[in-house]
Amino acid sequence: MVIFFILLIVGVYSFLFSEYRSTSVFENEKSDISIVEDKNTEEKDTVKKVDKKESEVIAGFVEWTGTDPYPALDWKNTKPELKTAVLDFEEKWGSKLSVRQAYRPEGYVNHIRSVWEIWRYINGKEFKSGYNCKDFNHINPNDVGTLSKTQKDFINKEAKRHSFTTGDTPPACMSDHALGIAVDITPPIDSKEYKKWIETANSVGLCHNIAGDEPHLGLTKYLPEGTDCSVY
DSSP labels, 72-89: S---TTS-HHHHHHHHHH
pLDDT digits (tens, 9 = 90+) for 131-159: 999 999 999 999 999 999 999 999 999 99
Please check whether residues 90 and 141 belong to one and the same domain.
yes
Please check whether residues 103 and 170 belong to one and the same domain.
yes
Please check whether residues 86 and 10 belong to one and the same domain.
no
Q: Residue 84 has what DSSP assignment?
A: H
Please check whether residues 137 and 207 belong to one and the same domain.
yes
Please check whether residues 61 and 45 belong to one and the same domain.
no
Q: Give the DSSP H/E element, type plus range, for residue 99.
A: strand 99-101
Per-residue CA distances from 86 to 119, 189, 202 (Å): 34, 19, 11
Cα dihedral 60/51/106/115 (nearest 10): 50
Please check whether residues 47 and 62 belong to one and the same domain.
no
Residue 10 lies in a domain: yes
Q: Is the pTM here over 0.95, yes or no? A: no
Total structural domains within the chain: 2
Please check whether residues 162 and 68 belong to one and the same domain.
yes
- Looking at 51, 67, 85, the residue that finishes a domain is 51
Domain hosting residue 166, numbered range: 57-222
Measured distance CA(122)–CA(48) in Å, rounded: 28
Work out whether strand 216-219 and strand 182-185 pair parallel, antiparallel, or are unpaired. Answer: antiparallel
pLDDT digits (tens, 9 = 90+) for 83-108: 999 999 999 999 999 999 999 999 99
CB 22 within 8 A of CB 119: no
Please check whether residues 170 and 134 belong to one and the same domain.
yes
- Per-residue confidence (pLDDT) for residue 132, from 0 to 100: 95
Please check whether residues 26 and 116 belong to one and the same domain.
no
Q: What is the mean pLDDT of the chain?
A: 83
Please check whether residues 8 and 28 belong to one and the same domain.
yes
- Per-residue confidence (pLDDT) for residue 167, from 0 to 100: 83
Residue 227 lies in a domain: no
Please check whether residues 85 and 128 belong to one and the same domain.
yes
Please check whether residues 129 and 36 belong to one and the same domain.
no
